[in-house]
Amino acid sequence: MKYVCAVCFSLLLSAAAVAQNQFVYTDDETAPNEVSAAKINADGSLTQIAGSPFATGGTGGGGWVEGLATATAGKNSYLYVDNGGDGTISGLKIDPANGALRPVPRSPFLADGIAGNYSLAISPSNRFLFASSDATTLIHVYAISQTNGSLFEVKGSPFLANANLDGLKVSGNGHFLIAGGQSNSAVAVFSISQAGALTEVPGSPFPASGTVSAVESNCASNQVFAVSNSTNLIDAYKLSAAGTLTPAPGSPFSNGASGNGPNSFDLVLSPTNHFLFTTDSFTDEISSFAVAPDAALMPVAGSPFFASSWTSGTAITHAGDYLYAVDFSDAAVLGEHVNSDGSLTPAPGPFNTGAISTVGEMNTVITFPSPVCPTVSTQ
């Protein structure tokens, strides 16, 4: 009965999310750091909201990737953004009516305190924020205040990862943190305790095809995907109940891009987990794959799809109807309508942030409300 009620509650949240306004946020990597914000219109086009860009209170441009994550704690929702130039994390409260941002108490919060490329991930329960930088071999774990969105580092944090990391994702059941190994070309898996503490699972890290730049995991918590910024390959794994990874049949898979690559920069699953989308930062294409139950990938007819410019970070809407990718060469966000067969059709745009930074490249984008898995995790 508790499980049924949890599912019902999740479905109610999903329906409410679809009815409310939807927004896109990018980390502009400026110094001082800023976040550009836009409203998602019915046709998928983006309109900059009043007050954008919003200051984070930290310094950007510490690397070519800045992390973004959203969480709902109590009655409020928050955007978390790292400041790669000074090694801090800012918490910003989201106004659900207009998408405006304002700092939470005590923000920004200290992470490593040094410049680097940061990755952020939120637990499905919205209790914990995980953060790592490719400049260290550490993972910070923060408890998220359910009152005001402030961050408090948990006991034992930071935890040793034994590699420089680039890309974090929490499994749909909240039991595991998946981490991309940049310095060891591998994917690490950590079990997450009820208190947020991390313990690397036996056999981790698991070999990948290159220097991992991003990771993804499905809602059923039995599939993991990783892409590399040194190859055009996608590694697909089956995730066991114990947290071990086994390559899927046929893995690794080519992204099929035909430009100046190879460089599989980012990836995202559709909310139903039926499709996987990847970007290649040295092509003007986005690849789309159908995902089999055993985690094998099959290119969607017509993939890769023309995206008009070089793409990097990507995100998908809560309903899965629009996919957004950063055009890092023009400080813009490109929109694609996601058709029922997984194919892509350009949406009106692009949305130009105007945030051409002299200290970094805008590479990260996130949607709000973000997609959520259709169960409520206790972890």
Domain boundary assignment for the chain: 2-189+201-368
Strand partners, 335: 324
Q: Can you give the pLDDT at residue 260?
A: 56
Q: State the virtual CA torsion across 178, 180, 186, 191 in degrees, nearest 10.
A: -20
Q: Which two tokens stand for residue 378?
A: 């206790």
Please, is 352 exposed, middle or buried when counting C-beta atoms within 10 Å of its C-beta (0-12, 13-18, 19+)?
middle
pLDDT given for residue 11 in this prediction:
42
What distance in Å separates the CA atoms of residue 232 and residue 188, rounded to the nearest whole number?
A: 20
Q: Is the Cβ–Cβ distance between 84 and 118 less than 8 Å?
A: yes
| Long-range CB contacts (within 8 A, 24+) of 191-195 | 191/243, 192/123, 192/128, 192/379, 194/379, 195/154, 195/155
Residue 19 burial by CB count (10 A; 0-12/13-18/19+): exposed, middle or buried? exposed
Q: How, if at all, do strands 332-338 and 322-327 pair?
A: antiparallel
Spatial contact of 379 and 173, defined as CB atoms under 8 Å apart? yes
Euclidean distance between the first and final Cα of the chain, in Å? 19
* 9: enclosing H helix or E strand: helix 2-19
The reported pLDDT for the residue numbered 16 is 46
* pLDDT at res. 354: 64
Contact assessment for residue 37 and residue 60, using Cβ atoms and an 8 Å cutoff: no
The residues of the chain scoring below 50 in pLDDT are: 1-18, 376-378
Element (H, E) at 10: helix 2-19
If 0-12 CB within 10 Å is exposed, 13-18 middle and 19+ buried, where does residue 48 land? middle
Distances, alpha carbon 14 to alpha carbons 231, 253, 257, in Å: 36, 32, 34
Calculate the average pLDDT of the chain.
89
Strand 212-217 relative to strand 253-254, pairing: unpaired
Non-local (6+) Cβ contacts of 206 within 8 A are: 186, 187, 188, 189, 237, 244, 245
What is d(CA 250, CA 273) in angstroms, rounded to the nearest whole number?
A: 19
Annotate 142-185 with three-state secondary structure: EEECCCCCCEEECCCCCEECCCCEEEEEECCCCCEEEEEECCCC
For residue 367, give the nearest of 15, 20, 13, 11 by alpha carbon.
20
Distance of CA 92 to the CA centre of its chain: 17
Domain 2-189+201-368 belongs to what topology?
Answer: Methylamine Dehydrogenase; Chain H (2.130.10)
The pLDDT value recorded for residue 214 is 93
